[in-house]
Amino acid sequence: MAESETRSETPSETRHGIGVSPGTAYGPVVQVAPPVRPPADETAVDDQEAALADVRAAFESVAVSLEERATRVDDTAQQILKATALIARDKGLVKAAAKELAAGHGRAHSIENAVETYAAQFEALGGYFAERVADLRDVGSRAVAAVLGVPAPGVPSFTEPSVIVAEDLAPAETATLDRRLVVGIITEAGGRTSHTAILAAQMGIPAVVQLAGATEIAPGTPVALDGDTGEVTIDPDMELVTAQRERAARRAEALSHLSGAGRTSDGAEIALLANIGGVEDAVAAGAQDLEGVGLFRTEFVYLSATKAPTVEEQTEIYRGVFAPFEGRRVVVRTLDAGADKPLKFADLGPEENPALGRRGLRLSAERPDLLDAQLEALAIAARETGADVRVMAPMVATAEEAAWFARRVRENGLPKAGVMIEVPGAALRAHDVLGEVDFGSLGTNDLAQYTMAADRMQGALSDLLDPWQPGVLDVVGLACEGAARAGRPIGVCGESAGDPLLALVLVGLGVSSLSMAPSKVPVVRLALSLHSVAECQDLAAAARGARTAIDALTAVREAARTELTDLL
């Protein structure tokens, strides 16, 4: 089909990202200038003293412009900008740049190398310290732009209400956006729990992340975005903008009447939980109307560290995560690293098939000392904060592994042990595997990867990874049957739990808790409130009765109540 034909019939183009901050927006695109890199062919300087003066002036101009911006924003943003200005004025940075100049590098490279020296130190420290690296690199990129005499990276100044589009936004960038002029945010990178997502939600700016090709949209092009569904329409006609706006208003109205615990229309309780990856996520999720955490990923505690974090260091982090959830449940997934996410202090060497290698619980089996330190820290933090902490292991395949893990959890004084069900072999034998522990949690992303033998990192295989694949739904169904026979509760903590239609199917299959991005909780709560358990079972049967993933989705969309589907 000729492209021009397609264009003339459908002048607008709709793409899908991930909606992370609810509401709709319509406006022209303002592209955020990407970070400025030193030119590859930069020559060494002749006059080192003059060059150092240029570098000093570049850093000073960055500090002055940050301080100038700080006078125009609110308190929180002001603190961030002032702290960033302090970095730009750092004597150490100029000294490090002077060394680079002396070593024969050009001005821009000297600035970048100096910044990277500190960035490497912060990253090695891990945790809170590593989070400052984005601000540091932002200073570096601005200084490089200043020394090269090119426009500064970041948000250009604009006067008309606009949609901000970027590869990703630095924390300082997001915090200092002018709420009156920024009607929406779109990023090409970022995730559900990225800084951009959290801050946009706090500021009430509709936002979509992970939109492919976002940075290639021409500045000035009008776009419409829906921060719930993740839908972005480029050059939309006004009818669509109006329809999208009305649908969002109806949805907000429908959601505003509901709160509290998740319940089907006939009163069955389905726990609505959050997926989180760190202390900031925990604080944000803790303030929301949800019943706790269904998946706390603990990788960040380890990934940037050069040596194994101590029990004390871990306890401090876990305390911060649990504190907002006193009296509520927090399900912790123990260290899920290995081949594809190697740890500097526990590298078992390269593997041919990382996804099938020594990762998850298999790594813990080789290094039980790491697992024990984590469990000890979790137990201390749980006692101190009064959160209902439950621990589960990733990548469990057999009943023996489940029993081994449960014993270690109990020896460390933690009351509840569970396992992730993400290996098809464990799903098929859920009765035996879950018989060894207190609960199970279906990781639908990995379960789909292993059931369909399709790499999650391989974008071209995304159709196979669709959680609506009947084969995947069958495996989930069998795991739920096994859990029921063993008398153990089973939940879902993958992306699929946050899809309102799929959530109904999962409940119909026998799932009793759903853990998702916090922003998805309200619409899933609404979906549940409109359907009885028997209706969910009918929807599950319709999905499993379909021949293809698309048929399964279509069948469920048609059979679900229109009060829900009209809002989607």
Partner 1 sequence: MATRTVTIASSVGLHARPAALFVEAASASGLDVEIAKPGEDPVDATSILGVMALGARHGEEVVLTAEGDGADETLDSLVELLSRDLDAE
Positions annotated as catalytic residues are: 195, 493
Residue with Cβ nearer partner 1 (69 or 488): 69
Contacts with 17 (C-beta within 8 Å, 6 or more apart), sequence order: 186, 208, 209, 210, 211, 212, 214, 230, 232
State yes or no: residue 221 binds partner 1 (CB under 8 A): no
Among 53, 64, 86, 287, binds partner 1 (CB under 8 A): 86
Q: How far is CA 522 from the centre of its chain?
A: 18
d(CA 308, CA 343): 9
123 binds partner 1 (CB under 8 A): no
Nearer to partner 1 (CB atom), residue 316 or residue 372: 316
- Return the number of the residue (91 or 257) whose C-beta is nearest partner 1: 91
Sign of CA dihedral 461, 464, 467, 468: positive
**CB nearer partner 1, residue 96 or residue 509:** 96
Query: Does residue 83 bind partner 1 (CB under 8 A)?
Result: yes
- Selected range binding partner 1 among 115-123, 142-150, 213-221, 429-437, rule: CB under 8 A: 115-123
423 binds partner 1 (CB under 8 A): no
Shortest Å, Cβ 295 to partner 1: 24
User: Which of the stretches 76-84, 349-357, 505-513, 560-568 binds partner 1 when contact is defined by CB under 8 A?
Assistant: 76-84
Strand segments (E) across 156-242 = 162-166, 182-187, 207-209, 222-226, 231-234
- The H-assigned helical ranges of 424-509 are 424-428, 430-435, 444-451, 470-486, 500-509
CB of 531 to partner 1, least distance (A): 44
DSSP-assigned states of every residue in 90-155 = -HHHHHHHHHHHHTT--HHHHHHHHHHHHHHHHHHH-HHHHTTHHHHHHHHHHHHHHHHT-PPSBP
Window 299-328: contact mask with partner 1 (x via CB under 8 A): -------------xx--x---x--------
Tokens describing residue 407: 């014993």
> Whose Cβ is closer to partner 1: residue 94's or residue 454's?
94
Q: Are strands 513-516 and 13-16 parallel, antiparallel or unpaired?
A: unpaired
Residue with Cβ nearer partner 1 (10 or 76): 76
Q: Which is nearer to partner 1, 279 or 475 (CB)?
A: 279
CA angle 439, 494, 244 (to 5 degrees): 140
The DSSP symbol for 395 reads S
* 165-204 residues near partner 1, rule: CB under 8 A: none
Strands 439-442 and 162-166: unpaired
Min CB(12)–partner 1 separation in Å: 44
Residue 127 C-beta: closest distance to partner 1, Å: 8
Q: Which of 136, 164, 186, 371 binds partner 1 (CB under 8 A)?
A: 136
Tabulate helix, strand, coil % of the chain (nearest 5).
50, 15, 35
Where b means 16+ CB within 10 Å and e means fewer, 350-360 reads eeeebbebbbb
Stretch that binds partner 1, among 66-74, 124-132, 266-274, 371-379 (CB under 8 A): 124-132
Is residue 548 within the footprint of partner 1 (CB under 8 A)?
A: no
Report the residue from 10, 14, 79, 306 that binds partner 1 according to the rule CB under 8 A: 79
- Shortest approach of partner 1 to residue 120 CB, angstroms? 10
| Number of chain residues interacting with partner 1 (CB under 8 A) | 21
Q: What does DSSP assign to residue 291?
A: S
CB of 110 to partner 1, least distance (A): 16
Q: Which is nearer to partner 1, 316 or 432 (CB)?
A: 316
Do 403 and 436 touch, CB atoms closer than 8 A? yes
Decide: is 75 part of the binding site for partner 1 (CB under 8 A).
Answer: no
Q: Which is nearer to partner 1, 102 or 120 (CB)?
A: 120
Which of 121, 242, 458, 462 touches partner 1 (CB under 8 A)?
Answer: 121
Among 26, 59, 118, 318, binds partner 1 (CB under 8 A): 118
Q: Using CB under 8 A, which of 34, 39, 92, 425 touches partner 1?
A: 92
The CA-based diameter of the chain, rounded to the nearest angstrom, is 80
**Among 68, 45, 69, 49, residue whose Cα is nearest residue 57:** 49
Site membership for partner 1, residue 134 (CB under 8 A)? no
In angstroms, the CA 565 to CA 531 distance is: 12
In the complex, the smallest distance separating the C-beta of residue 495 from partner 1, rounded to whole angstroms, is 31
CB of 222 to partner 1, least distance (A): 39
Return the number of the residue (313 or 538) whose C-beta is nearest partner 1. 313
Contacts of 251 (CB under 8 A, 6+ apart): 228, 523, 567
Within 10 angstroms of residue 416's Cβ, the number of other Cβ atoms is 17
Binding piece for partner 1, criterion CB under 8 A, among 26-34, 98-106, 121-129, 405-413: 121-129
Torsion sign, CA atoms 339, 343, 348, 350: positive
For partner 1, the binding residue among 33, 128, 167, 299 (CB under 8 A) is 128
Please name every residue paired with 187 in a beta bridge, in sequence order, or none if there are none: 166
Interface of this chain with partner 1, residues 359 to 398, rule: CB under 8 A: none
Residue 498: CA atoms inside 13 Å, Cβ hemisphere, count?
Answer: 23
Please choose, out of 120-128, 175-183, 346-354, 436-444, the segment that lies near partner 1 by the rule CB under 8 A.
120-128
Measured CA to CA, the distance from residue 222 to residue 257 in angstroms comes to 33
Pick the binder of partner 1 from 16, 37, 82, 456 (CB under 8 A): 82
Q: Are 66 and 84 in contact (CB under 8 A)?
A: yes
Q: Write down the least CB distance from residue 113 to partner 1, Å.
A: 14
Binding site for partner 1 (CB under 8 A): 79, 82-83, 86-87, 90-93, 118, 121-122, 125, 128-129, 132, 136, 312-313, 316, 320
